[in-house]
Structure 1
Amino acid sequence: MTASTHNPLLSDWKAAGEFPPFAAIRPEHFAPAIVRLAKERIDRVDAIAANPEPPTFANTVAAYEATGGHIERIDALFEILRLTLGTREVWEVAGEVGALLANHHAALLSHQPFFIRLDAVFHTRHTLELEADELRLLELIHADYVRNGVHLSPEASTRLHAIKERLAQCYVAFNKNLVASTDAFKLILTDEAELAGLPDFIRRAALTEDQPDRANESVFTLAYSSVVPFLTWSVRRDLRERIWRAWTSRCTEPDVDNRPIVREVVQLRAEQAKLLGFENFAQYALTDRMAGTPQAVRELLESIWTPARMLCEAELAALRSFASETGEPAEIEPWDWRYLTERLRTREFNIDAEQVGQYFELESSIRAAFDCAHRLFGLQFRERHDVALYHPDVRLWDVEQYGRLIGYFAADYYARVGKASGAWESEFRMRCDGIDATLPFVINSTSFQGVRGKPTQLALRDVQTLFHEMGHALHSLLSRVRFRRLSGTRVQRDFVEFPSHLMENWVLDPTLLATHARHVETGEAMPDALVRSLRAASCFNEGYELVRYIASALADIELHSLAECADLDIETFQSRYFERLGVMREVDVNHRLPCFRHAFGGSEYAAGYYSYLWAQVLEADAFEAFEESGNAFDAPLAARLHDCLFGIGNSMDPAAAYQAFRRRAPDPLALARKRGFGAVGGSVPVPA
């Protein structure tokens, strides 16, 4: 079978039972499919533009909305396979696919004849008696065209198209290097002394039992779920230093050096912003976010930076004292922090990592997340085994709400070579209840260490990740909108993290723990004392986590606020900025620039890494509503959460939607109360 004789990507998926025909899809199918689908879409937009009838919402806006479903599915499918498979064959076509999609979007969003009709509808919109979601769709599509330079001169438009195509190629190169650099390092241990301090469930996850010739080897990689546990529990300081240095120097090696790519991306984005009439890229990017301006982002981050740094300094003093008491080196290094913190946490809260892992097994944690969704939103997840998916690790569930099928949920839980490290949610297909109605098909991907079919014990942070990604999935699954452009997670980037962070609040819910946090061998419930300890320790080491995050978020904003960056040296900018900010050497940051995928692996989070904290301002306030009710599963409150926030997609302004849920503006101090760093001085900017 070849792409030229039969291309399964051109099917409507109906023959595969609503699912992509994974078994028949090959990487070489994508480019020709995109070429054909892009032409078909432009032809349809040409026809809309040439319609002799006066422009209306139906014959212009709704007609345009109906043109994109197929090519959007193929775009999403390729991105999922690139992230989760990352085979040589996928990477070989990734550059071409990225360039084709960039060229298509550039051609679409510079279609002057169509924009003339769209603009006519836009300027008469308040006389048309449009429904609220119709008005929202019209305004967002119009903004898409304006933000992408439809008013530019032909020369400027040509340059903007070239920039977008080159950026697409840079993103492919950046991500390819990141995966290759992450996969290249392996810490292979064979001696018991090298494994000292590591809990049994971490040791078991690192064993290479599936390779008989290496059965006695334990392998630790630079995947987050491998390197962080090693840094947390390994007694061997020399090995901790070795893996930390490898982790933090990723993508600086000669063959996979991302520094030139980062520099070029920053330069291209700055030029893009100037072409579109903005001083810098951060200013351009923030016009499409809740925050609105770079200054609003700085005000949020800087208002928390000082108390977070003070808290982190107190934590450092406590670690130094603890190190002195226990005979550890007094000069604390970055590879010591997690190790010393875990030992101190164990002493202060009587929490043993091995014991915790015995109650957080993957299967029971999945059931807990499903149970949470059932109690809040009436969902049922029924696993299927009759569909061929893209990898044996991937699992599939039908999702029903009060007995009615509302979508499909897939999950790819385990780390493997070629798969991007970290966790994310994606949609193979968005929900649409209008023309060409479709059910959502969403996927959660994580990088847990383990093997499907065998018990996999998780750390608490892993369970929080599982619930976080489930929040994104619910945002897609519960969407009730007519238009695909307004569906699910297609919201402003600093709002999209709200449902995911909110779901993390139920991880330590007493009802869910009593039902699902059962000992992996005895089946006994988690002891009350351990539950109390986990809750008491929830804000432990919070200064460290906040400082690392805020430093990276501020660097993202500052780098994208540069107006002139022709002579930009990435290493110099990085070191000087973190020094000026006052990042403590012992703490470091979440992301060094050469491996900062959020900022440089694509455009969605560019100048937008702050989004996680912005969303947490909202979710801290939102969960307080459940706490005030005295019932974490309060039915009327959960129904309002569904109707006002999870179900509306982007069909209304998120600030107004939040106010409809909370019946007031969010309280910015809710975040300080939750995170334990005291009242934040001044006013934290949040949507009114």
Structure 2
Amino acid sequence: MTNPLLADWTTPFQMPPFGDITDDHFEEAVDAALVAARENIGAIADSDDAPTFANTIEALERADEVLSRVLGVFYNLAGADSNDRREALSRSFSPKLSAYSSEVSQNTALFERIETLWQARDTLELTDEQARLLYLARRSFVRSGAQLDGIAKDRLAQVTERLASLGVQYGQNLLADEREWVMDLSESDLEGLPDFLVQAARAAGEEKGRKGPVITLSRSLIVPFLQFSPRRDLREIAHNAWTARGANGGDTDNRDIAAEILALREERAGLLGYDSFAEFKLETEMAGTPAAVRDLLMKVWEPARTSAVEDQQRLSAMMHNDGVNGELEPWDWRYYSQKRRAEEHDLDEAALKPYLQLDRMIEAAFDCATRLFGLEFTPADVPVYHADVRAWEVTRDGKHMAIFLGDYFARGSKRSGAWCSAMRSQQKLAGDIRPVVVNVCNFAKPPKGKPALLSYDDARTLFHEFGHALHQMLSDVTYESISGTSVARDFVELPSQLYEHWLEVPEVLAKYATHAETGEPMPQDMLERLLAANTYDMGFQTVEYVGSALVDLEFHAGEAPEDPMAFQQEVLDGIEMPHAIGMRHATPHFAHVFSGDGYSSGYYSYMWSEVMDADAFAAFQEAGGPFDADTASRLEKHILSAGGSQEAKDAYIAFRGQMPGVDALLKGRGLDDAA
């Protein structure tokens, strides 16, 4: 029988035919796609025809089309709905794909063709986009070892393959720890918890097959438990389990894996002629150097730490008033911070949540996109990979723009966090190909028949990931490798973090923040208190983030530490990390950095982008309002539709006129007074 992954897809919008695909199809499809890709690469490299942009660069763009299509399906499933077979396939595919990538990037004949075009680039009459693609292709080959010889080239391939395998193992270990840990709650343990959390704990217990309510390591469960449970002993158990992910000993322990990854990254950078992995990694980012990253982070660290220490003193006093002696511990912070927030802002998460229904927040995100960019969203009857997944067709002026999939609820088969991916990316080289974009979140699934309720942070996450989705949907370039979110890592978070600002627009909340039971809009005084509290606890949030970003940077800025955990503590001691605040992501569960190379030496990227997103939203405010049509048009033209067709700095300046400073970021976080 024909493998559905290799056949033509006749489904609506050529969606993957998920109903026909089984896990048994993937290995055959990947192997066949690799054979086809190798044949295509060989045909390009061994051609007797003189190299041209079309027969070399454009041909290279299309060489692994089938492989990209198959992997687009597989890796979406592996992240959002994993199982033992898919995890085994991930481990199997990793060295195969790494070997293929090394073969391509270290193919001497292929690189010689690219180099010939590069040296003659001024005579080729290339468009700006083509010139950019040629530059990026050559740079990628050079940074992958194309100019190395003999032993060094072979060793780089070995290092790259090992790193790929370790990244997969790290991620699977983390998922296993997150999936296995459960804390059963008795009825008395539920005392003091708000109804939404009790319902979510009961639903989680049903999903886990337990007799009663449970707390799992899903962020949408454990964070509100730490906020609301008056049981300090249970908070400590839950917090310690959350921070021990990847460090529990046994087969799923990630500490030795992290050490090996850091050592191999250092070796990789050395083989390519760099002083450190951070120097290598940051060369292609907006920041450019480790010194520039460190400078930004420390400018934010000092006022954030000052604010956090002041907050820690207030929370400690509250705890002591409760008769609890000793230091404020990390499992105490969220509990007393929630109490303080309720007192100072008269804002109770339990009272707020009914106004933040998932369905209404989705509508709000869509409506903002309609007003800004003219996009329309219609439910689509297309194949999906899980019963929880929802699908919409995205159109503009009647033209098909994208298929958007929303996979919002936590489950044991899904890795933690939230992300945006594209099963298919926009391009024009192979026809007018429109994207299939997926937003994946981990919100608590409600009991059957009940509406899903979000925290304000959850709603912000939804808008954040939808900002990434817009970057994919509005992409309008010829070449897939520079479409959508294929931009510098410290630029890719700009569209997502910028879109969060529309959640804060009072008229958006006034329309879409409606009560789950009564349908009444959020009372005006609650809305005002919510927005007034927008920077509440920002010292804590900034410190836990910057602490993680600095550890990531220092891991890669010098000699790889033999003991990453000891080195992590040295960095935190050096910046005087407050005792009651931990890293947002400690080494054994720092998936951004160790599950792959994506954010390695680059976790700072969120803050680098935030410098721009605060300034970019100010452009709308200066123009007369958050839905100013001319500003939205410039944003789409220069950033959202342009992908990686130019340098990120040039794209931002084209939109805004100049690069911003850090002041807007500090003001947006409410830290300007602490600076």
Structure 2 CA distance for aligned equivalents of residues 183 and 214 of structure 1: 13
Q: How far did 1:511 drift? A: 1.9
Q: Is 2:425 the counterpart of 1:424?
A: no
The one-letter code of the counterpart of 1:252 is A
Partner of 1:686: none
The one-letter code of the counterpart of 2:185 is L
- Name which of 175, 181, 201 aligns with 2:177: 181
The one-letter code of the counterpart of 1:643 is K
Partner of 1:358: 354
Partner of 2:215: 220
Q: Is 2:558 the counterpart of 1:562?
A: yes
Partner of 2:278: 282
Structure 1 CA distance for aligned equivalents of residues 459 and 133 of structure 2: 36
> Mean alpha-carbon deviation: is it higher for 65-74 or for 255-264?
65-74
Q: Is 2:652 the counterpart of 1:658?
A: yes
Q: Is 2:240 the counterpart of 1:232?
A: no
- Name which of 43, 51, 55 aligns with 1:59: 55
Structure 2 CA distance for aligned equivalents of residues 679 and 286 of structure 1: 31
Q: How far did 1:326 drift? A: 4.7
Structure 1 CA distance for aligned equivalents of residues 663 and 462 of structure 2: 27
Q: Are the structure 2 counterparts of residues 157 and 478 from structure 1 closer, same or farther at C-alpha, using a change threshold of 3 Å? A: same
Question: Do 1:208 and 1:215's aligned partners in 2 also have CA atoms closer than 8 Å?
Answer: no
Q: Write out aligned runs for 1:439-588 (5 A).
A: 439-451=434-446, 454-565=450-561, 568-588=562-582
**TM-score, length-scaled by structure 1:** 0.95
Question: Do 1:208 and 1:217's aligned partners in 2 also have CA atoms closer than 8 Å?
Answer: no
Q: Write out aligned runs for 1:350-389 (5 A).
A: 350-384=346-380, 386-389=381-384
State the Cα deviation string for residues 620-655 of structure 1 (Å, max 9, x = none): 110111122231111111111111111100111111
Question: Do 1:431 and 1:488's aligned partners in 2 also have CA atoms closer than 8 Å?
Answer: yes
Question: Do 1:30 and 1:97's aligned partners in 2 also have CA atoms closer than 8 Å?
Answer: no
Partner of 2:30: 34
Structure 2 CA distance for aligned equivalents of residues 216 and 558 of structure 1: 46
Q: Are the structure 2 counterparts of residues 361 and 398 from structure 1 closer, same or farther at C-alpha, using a change threshold of 3 Å? A: same
State the Cα deviation string for residues 374-431 of structure 1 (Å, max 9, x = none): 11111111112x3231111111110111221111000111111121011000110100
> Mean alpha-carbon deviation: is it higher for 576-585 or for 422-431?
576-585
Corresponding residue SS for 2:552 = helix
**TM-score, length-scaled by structure 2:** 0.97
Q: How far did 1:163 drift? A: 1.1
State the Cα deviation string for residues 63-100 of structure 1 (Å, max 9, x = none): 21122322122223222111111101111211111111
Q: Is 2:617 the counterpart of 1:623?
A: yes
Question: Do 1:251 and 1:258's aligned partners in 2 also have CA atoms closer than 8 Å?
Answer: yes
Corresponding residue SS for 1:10 = coil
The one-letter code of the counterpart of 1:219 is V
Corresponding residue SS for 1:292 = coil
> Mean alpha-carbon deviation: is it higher for 258-267 or for 198-207?
198-207
Q: How far did 1:514 drift? A: 1.9
Corresponding residue SS for 1:207 = helix
Question: Do 1:393 and 1:412's aligned partners in 2 also have CA atoms closer than 8 Å?
Answer: yes
> Mean alpha-carbon deviation: is it higher for 356-365 or for 320-329?
320-329
Question: Do 2:205 and 2:211's aligned partners in 1 also have CA atoms closer than 8 Å?
Answer: no
The one-letter code of the counterpart of 2:7 is S
Q: Are the structure 2 counterparts of residues 38 and 245 from structure 1 closer, same or farther at C-alpha, using a change threshold of 3 Å? A: same
Q: How far did 1:190 drift? A: 2.2
Structure 2 CA distance for aligned equivalents of residues 215 and 302 of structure 1: 46
Partner of 2:247: 252
Structure 2 CA distance for aligned equivalents of residues 77 and 311 of structure 1: 45
Question: Do 1:621 and 1:668's aligned partners in 2 also have CA atoms closer than 8 Å?
Answer: no
Question: Do 2:204 and 2:215's aligned partners in 1 also have CA atoms closer than 8 Å?
Answer: no
Q: How far did 1:290 drift? A: 1.1
Structure 2 CA distance for aligned equivalents of residues 305 and 463 of structure 1: 26
State the Cα deviation string for residues 520-539 of structure 1 (Å, max 9, x = none): 11111111111111111111
Structure 2 CA distance for aligned equivalents of residues 84 and 347 of structure 1: 39
Structure 2 CA distance for aligned equivalents of residues 639 and 596 of structure 1: 37
Question: Do 1:659 and 1:666's aligned partners in 2 also have CA atoms closer than 8 Å?
Answer: no
The one-letter code of the counterpart of 1:659 is I
Partner of 1:106: 102
The one-letter code of the counterpart of 2:262 is V
Q: How far did 1:215 drift? A: 8.1
Question: Do 2:353 and 2:455's aligned partners in 1 also have CA atoms closer than 8 Å?
Answer: yes
Q: How far did 1:575 drift? A: 2.0
Structure 1 CA distance for aligned equivalents of residues 228 and 540 of structure 2: 17
Partner of 1:291: 287
The one-letter code of the counterpart of 2:623 is S
Structure 2 CA distance for aligned equivalents of residues 312 and 169 of structure 1: 39
Question: Do 1:432 and 1:480's aligned partners in 2 also have CA atoms closer than 8 Å?
Answer: yes
Corresponding residue SS for 2:478 = coil
Corresponding residue SS for 1:413 = strand
Which runs of no fewer than 5 residues in structure 2 stay unpaired? none
The one-letter code of the counterpart of 1:599 is V
Partner of 1:242: 237
Q: Is 2:425 the counterpart of 1:435?
A: no
Q: Are the structure 2 counterparts of residues 273 and 28 from structure 1 closer, same or farther at C-alpha, using a change threshold of 3 Å? A: farther
Corresponding residue SS for 1:24 = coil
Structure 2 CA distance for aligned equivalents of residues 84 and 341 of structure 1: 32
Q: How far did 1:576 drift? A: 2.1
Q: How far did 1:149 drift? A: 0.2
Corresponding residue SS for 1:507 = helix
Q: Are the structure 2 counterparts of residues 630 and 24 from structure 1 closer, same or farther at C-alpha, using a change threshold of 3 Å? A: same
The one-letter code of the counterpart of 2:214 is V
Q: How far did 1:24 drift? A: 2.1
Which runs of no fewer than 5 residues in structure 1 stay unpaired? 682-688
The one-letter code of the counterpart of 1:336 is D
Structure 2 CA distance for aligned equivalents of residues 268 and 213 of structure 1: 38
Q: Is 2:646 the counterpart of 1:644?
A: no
- Name which of 155, 175, 195 aligns with 2:190: 195
The one-letter code of the counterpart of 2:32 is R
Q: How far did 1:218 drift? A: 1.3
Question: Do 1:208 and 1:214's aligned partners in 2 also have CA atoms closer than 8 Å?
Answer: no
State the Cα deviation string for residues 530-577 of structure 1 (Å, max 9, x = none): 111111111111111111111111111111123354xx0122112222
The one-letter code of the counterpart of 2:505 is D
Q: How far did 1:46 drift? A: 1.9
Structure 2 CA distance for aligned equivalents of residues 242 and 15 of structure 1: 48
Partner of 1:673: 667
Corresponding residue SS for 1:9 = coil
- Name which of 294, 315, 335 aligns with 1:319: 315
Corresponding residue SS for 1:497 = helix
Q: How far did 1:273 drift? A: 0.8
Q: How far did 1:17 drift? A: 4.1
Q: Are the structure 2 counterparts of residues 71 and 194 from structure 1 closer, same or farther at C-alpha, using a change threshold of 3 Å? A: same
Q: How far did 1:679 drift? A: 7.0
Q: Is 2:279 the counterpart of 1:305?
A: no
Question: Do 1:427 and 1:442's aligned partners in 2 also have CA atoms closer than 8 Å?
Answer: yes
Question: Do 2:304 and 2:674's aligned partners in 1 also have CA atoms closer than 8 Å?
Answer: no
> Mean alpha-carbon deviation: is it higher for 64-73 or for 526-535?
64-73
> Mean alpha-carbon deviation: is it higher for 247-256 or for 409-418?
247-256
